[in-house]
Structure 1
Amino acid sequence: MSVLLNFAMFPTDKGASVSAYVGKVIEMIRESGVAYRLNPMGTTIETQNMTEALDIVNKAYAILEPHSDRIYSTINIDAREGGVGRLEGKIESVERKIGKVNK
């Protein structure tokens, strides 16, 4: 199974810049060993099952919770039977198709 989970999570009571807090979450994701891609509006991770994906979300919350009275989160999930590798594969597929359309 491949689970793509895109999420944004950050404290809302720390001013306009929360990158220091987001950085702590990204560090945890990097150390977890799961594939991930940081983007301007969140982070996408790819895991082999839903439990592992939601564990990352729970760990992210545990990192932020001691530092904030209010934490904002959004989560999108795409779970599919089959192997992992969709984090890069989905983007490459679209880029190939764009190349065909533009030629």
Structure 2
Amino acid sequence: MSFLVEFAMFPTDKGESVSPYVARIIKMIDESGVPYKLTPMGTVFETETMDEALEILKKAYQQLEPDCNRVYSVVKFDIRKGKSNRLKQKIESVEKKLGKEVSK
């Protein structure tokens, strides 16, 4: 099973630039071993279970909780049975349809 999760999470009480806070979250995801992709507007990661996905989100919040008084987050799930590695395969599928050579 594949749980693709796209989310953004950041403090709203730390001024205009929040990249140091986002970096905390990305470091945690990277160290977790979960496949992910950072984008300019958020992060996408993939797990095999809902519990794993929710645990990553919980740990993301825990990176901000100690020194952030207000945290904004938006989360989207794409859950599909019988599939895996969709973080890469979904992009490859579109690139093939565009006639692009798929990167390995």
Tell me if both proteins adopt one fold, taking TM over 0.5 as the criterion.
yes
What is the CA deviation profile of residues 4-60 of structure 1, one whole-angstrom value per residue up to 9, with x for unaligned ones?
A: 000000000111110000000000000001000000100000001111001000000
Counterpart in the other structure of 1:37: 37
Q: CA RMSD in A?
A: 1.0
Q: How many equivalent pairs are there?
A: 100
For residue 83 of structure 1, report the CA deviation from its aligned partner: 3.2
TM-score, normalization by structure 2: 0.93
- Flag the structure with higher helix content: 1
Counterpart secondary structure, 1:77: strand
TM-score, normalization by structure 1: 0.94
Q: Which amino acid aligns with 2:37?
A: R
Counterpart in the other structure of 1:5: 5
Supply the distance in 1 between the matched residues of 2:30 and 2:74 (Cα, whole angstroms). 20
Supply the distance in 1 between the matched residues of 2:29 and 2:84 (Cα, whole angstroms). 17
Runs of 4+ in structure 1 off by over 2 angstroms are: none
Structure 1: state its 5+ residue gaps: none
Counterpart secondary structure, 1:6: strand
Give the fraction of aligned pairs with identical amino acids, expressed as a percent.
60
Structure 2: state its 5+ residue gaps: none
Counterpart secondary structure, 1:99: coil
